[in-house]
Amino acid sequence: MSEQEQGPSVVVPDAPDPVPAAPETTSSAPPATPPASASPPRTEAFAATSLILGILGLALPCFWLFPAPQVIAVILGHISVSQTRAYGTGGRGMGTAGLILGYLGLAFALGCLAALLVGALTSSPPAA
């Protein structure tokens, strides 16, 4: 055929080149499956222990004069928060709550001890 029979060809200078179609694969491999849901990160045992000791230190009056649980709660709270930051494990909120409760318990225990000390030092001896 001659060019006159087909008609004039039009050339567009700014038109993008056509994108070739992707070749079809004839692989018999199954389609990729999404990974199984990842289990939640492990909770630090120190975080839970810190929270429990912080609650006990505030709730039980016997620990207001002997603040051992509050001190342990603060120590374990700091350890658990640093471990959750370093290893990406869970329990950072519990560790922080244990820290806060431990510090509050320590402040309350020190206030009780200070009140007892001031009361003992300012009281007058009984009259004979």
Do 95 and 81 contact (CB within 8 A), yes or no?
Answer: yes
Of 22 and 46, more confident: 46
23: three-class secondary structure by DSSP: coil
In the prediction, which pLDDT does 61 show?
A: 86
**Residues in contact with 46: Cβ distance below 8 Å, sequence separation at least 6, in sequence order:** 76, 77, 79, 80, 83, 91, 95
Kindly tell me if the per-residue pLDDT of 3 is higher than 60: no
3-state secondary structure 97-112: HHHHHHHHHHHHHHHH
In the prediction, which pLDDT does 8 show?
A: 62
In the prediction, which pLDDT does 80 show?
A: 96
- Among residues 39, 55, 42, which one has the least CA distance to residue 83? 42
In the prediction, which pLDDT does 62 show?
A: 86
Domain ranges of the chain: 45-121
Average pLDDT, the chain: 83
In the prediction, which pLDDT does 2 show?
A: 53
Beta-bridge mates of residue 43: 90
Question: DSSP code of 2?
Answer: -
Kindly tell me if the per-residue pLDDT of 47 is higher than 80: yes
In the prediction, which pLDDT does 12 show?
A: 58
Q: For the whole model, what pTM was predicted?
A: 0.65
